[in-house]
A and B are shown apart, each in its own frame.
Chain A
Amino acid sequence: MAVELKAPALREYPVVPALQSDAMKDVVSYVANEKIQEAIGFPGKLDEGWQERAISKMGDLLGKYRSLRVFMDACVHCGACTDKCHYFIGTQDPKNMPVARQDLMRSVYRRYFTTAGKLFPRLVGARDLTRGVLDDWFRYYHQCSECRRCSVFCPYGIDTAEITMAGREILDAVGYGQKYSNEIIGKVHRIGNNLGLPGPALRDTLLGLEEDVKDETGVDVRYPLDEKGADVLLVTPSADFFAEPHVDSLIGYGKVFHAAGISWTLSSYSSEAGNFGMFIGNYEQLRKIAMRIREAALELGVKRIVVGECGHAWRVAYSFWNTLVGIGAGGKDPFAIELQRQLDPRHKQPTHICELTWDLIERGALRFDKDANDHRTITFHDSCNVARGSRMGDAPGGQFEIPRNIIRAVANKFVEMSPEVTRERTFCCGGGGGLLTDELLDLRIKGALPRMESLKQVVDNHGVNFMATICAICKAQFTKVLPYYGFKMSMVGGVHQLVSTAIRLGDSH
């Protein structure tokens, strides 16, 4: 890196920061090139006539998503959202206030889709969609992680994430896409996962894990790939195969299946739980990516689909898979109906790996040496898409309780961060929603500020040395930014990493 990046100072009290206009004007995502764009069916570049196409796409979206129109109309500029965004808090750029981010689109909406804005644009804050406005869209719709924290505080429930998604969808439709997300989507279509990890590499990696676990525990724990007739298909973020600390959770999932005697498999065709189609707000991409999971499930004949530790994947799985591809009731095409017949109705479809593990714990099917985690004092970071976009278990708030229950079952020392910044009020890690890319590192460091402040409190007051989370993006983001705040990168890890440390293998049956 040419410029040395620095973290902002931690604040003793979370006061509203002073404004710094255009503070983040120069922190811009790379634009996808023609090859990346065209590989996934988007126009290659911003061509003449883009303005009409953008307005027409906006009209489409307003017709298709009633929510978008309501969000455009309903805001009364009360200001409740202004200081709730981690990017605004960390960057002080007023355009990172949720209301300002919405107004980037709202002003254009008024100009082209409301009578007052068509006739008297200046009186109602309506603006033409100029190239400058479009550039601001690209800039600031890629400084929002779609975490939805602001919507918790909005009296009208306006969801900035949906506006960001619509903004990105329009940008893609005029050939102005983001390199990071669109390159990854292309890799999923081509190879089956975000990393571009081909089947043979995946097999080699999994065999290596079997060796490692055998060396560490003396037990033959398997990490099966493409095994027809297995009961469970596990789909997990491909980072679990590749990166640290992610892989330690994958090792943990395997140990849980082993200890419980559940037959399971991974799929080389569908080796990705993540679905960046949601980040770019594009239904067709979302569906096409999710479709690989249905195809793999039909091909392998599994009875149950389990999702690993990935935040936005769980939102897609829990909230959209049923009508999107027929995993869970709702899909009506013949393959969706066939899959619904194939899957075992006694299980939740899909099941989160935390639901599976907690259910086994409750039934007494797993045993732990909790002392094995005694070197850790643990806190839990709620990941935004799990916290605010999904649920787990049978009771409201299960997505908060179940991961915590697991941690308490496998470790002795657990400490909560402040209730102001956990559960549905959790702060984003700073790298979600398609922003986990190196050119946005300055934004990612600054966006992590509020979480780092709450972490610092429990580190100072309770000696916390491990922050558990159930999202691959959170893990990668914290690994990168923790050192900027004076913490060790190894402080972050997965819930199933803790499970892996404490689980007893082979003696529960």
Chain B
Amino acid sequence: MPNIEVNGKTYETDEEGYLVNLGDWNTDVADFIAKVENVDMTDQHWEVVNFLRQYYDEYQIAPAVRVLTKAIGKTLGPEKGNSQYLYELFPYGPAKQACKIAGLPKPTGCV
């Protein structure tokens, strides 16, 4: 398994750079993964990442794209509650890239 090193501590990741142990996550790790992904983390990015983590905590899965856009629309304004906005924040796709930065497992299947 490849690993990443943040602040002198080593974290296990899978082949694609997703954290193996969900408990390893912290904001420094998130910043590090974001940098690897070429994502410049702003308050808006954190809004998404924090929502993903809250939702995962409750449901053991990342939220569906529609659930996410609705939640973001409520907090950041209706003009941002759409997947186009999320793609602007996370160009590789909000589900996969945002999950990776949030330290959640990759959504699998036909997505």
Q: What residues make up the interface of A, taking CB atoms closer than 8 Å to B?
A: 1, 30, 179-180, 183-184, 187, 193-198, 200-201, 204-205, 208-209, 212, 237-239, 241-244, 246-247, 274, 310, 436, 438-439, 472-473, 475-476, 480
Contact = CB atoms under 8 A, between A and B. Distances in A.
Interface of B: 15-16, 59-61, 63-67, 70, 83, 92-93, 95-96, 105, 107-111
Tell me whether chain A's interface is mostly helix, strand or loop, or mixed: helix
Given A208-B67, A212-B66, A194 B60 contact: no
A204 B59 contact: yes
A196 B111 contact: no
Contacts of B92: 1
B109 A237 contact: yes
B108 A242 contact: no
Contacts of B59: 198, 200-201, 204
A187 B93 contact: no
Contacts of B16: 30, 438-439
Nearest to A477: B110
A310 B111 CA distance: 12
Given A244-B65, A310-B110, A438-B96, 6 more contacts: A195-B61, A196-B61, A196-B105, A205-B66, A247-B66, A274-B110
Contact of B108 (A184, A198, A208, A246): A184
B65 A243 contact: yes
A242 B108 CA distance: 11
A205 B105 CA distance: 19
Nearest to A475: B110
B34 to A, nearest CB: 14
A241 B67 CA distance: 10
Contacts of B70: 208, 212
A242 B96 contact: no
A366 B111 CA distance: 31
Contacts of B110: 194, 237-239, 243, 246, 274, 310, 436, 472-473, 475-476
A238 B66 contact: no
A26 B14 CA distance: 19
22 contacts: A194-B109, A194-B110, A195-B109, A196-B107, A196-B108, A198-B59, A198-B61, A201-B61, A201-B63, A208-B64, A237-B109, A237-B110, A239-B110, A242-B65, A242-B95, A242-B107, A243-B95, A246-B111, A472-B109, A473-B110, A475-B110, A480-B93
B66 A197 contact: no
B60 A201 contact: yes
Given A201-B61, A439-B15, A480-B93, A194 B66 contact: no
Contact of B66 (A1, A30, A183, A209): A209
Contacts of B61: 195-198, 201
A303 B95 CA distance: 36
Given A198-B59, A201-B60, A438-B16, A247 B109 contact: no
A243 B108 CA distance: 11
Nearest to A489: B87
B64 A183 contact: no
B111 A476 contact: yes
A244 B109 contact: no
Contacts of B64: 205, 208, 241-243, 247
B22 to A, nearest CB: 13
Contacts of A436: 110
